[in-house]
Amino acid sequence: MAIIFAFCCIFCSAMNDFVFKLFARKPRSRGLFVFMIGVAWAAASSFLPDLRGASWNTTILWGIISGLFSVIGNLLLIEAMGKQSAGLCSTIYRLNLALVVPGAWILFKEQNSLLQCIGIAAAFAAVLFFLPGSKNPNSDTSPRDAKLGLILVIIAAILRAGMGLAYKYGFNLGASANGVNLVNAFCWIAGGPVYYFLRERNLPELGAFSKKLTGYGILSGIFVFGIVFFMAHSVRLGNASIVLPIMQMSFVVTFILSAVFLKEKLTLYKFIALSCGAAALLCLSIK
């Protein structure tokens, strides 16, 4: 059952990354977008059963910890999407497993195989192969902005790894998977306006709420709900070092969507990076 949940998560992740890219192509408020995602996500999560778990304290604590990793990481991912290609951002973001696998070994004593160690090396190789093609992926993106986008998505991947490990740790202590899901949504509801007031309120070119922003937010909120719901239950039922790598394969679908619909070019370096990323996640998922 954990594997089925993982593949459902792949679909939701790929579609959500694509929506992120569609939204980030134009100057719009990231903070208000995240707020709308949180509202739609919370509305969907409020109907889930067993929101309490072993104790409210444990569920709320680990929901907030994982939620902070989630909202900050995704804000950085959205910003990176505005400066880099969707395929590059999605691939590097999903390679956070290069950190999750050793993290699962340290925190949960899950044993790592030689193949998983090779997978970690392949993940770093994928990032390195993206570097030559990251200088100017779009005609309207400066080399400086492209480099900043690359840095932002790497930081986002690190935070995403922290989120996955926080889930597993919280569930081991008795936190409710559905309860953590709901608390995460409220972190986005709170985090979006904070980001808006700290960074965007003096940027009138970003605008405020609009039909498109609201529509993108609701659509993404549904996908994010699916991502977290399926990921939480997959991690709860299976080993973090196995199911989390499987779920990250969504970047292959996102890469294809961005190439077909957004006409993002597939260079030799990107092809090698994509191949290394796929090989990394396959190796990381084998015990």
The phi, psi pair for 96, rounded to 5°, reads -60, -15
In angstroms, what is the C-alpha Rg of the chain?
A: 18
> What are the tens digits of pLDDT across the range 65-107?
999 999 999 999 999 988 888 878 887 887 776 666 666 666 6
Highest mean pLDDT among 108-122, 179-193, 219-233, 252-266: 179-193
Whether residue 281 is predicted with pLDDT greater than 90 in this model: the reply is no
Whether residue 136 is predicted with pLDDT greater than 60 in this model: the reply is no
Residue type, 42: A
Give the angle 223-229-235 at the CA atoms, nearest 5°: 130
Instruction: State both tokens at 262.
Output: 């957004």
Percent of the chain with pLDDT over 90: 27
pTM listed for this prediction: 0.82
CB 226 within 8 A of CB 12: yes
How many CA atoms, within 13 angstroms, populate the side-chain half-sphere of residue 262?
25
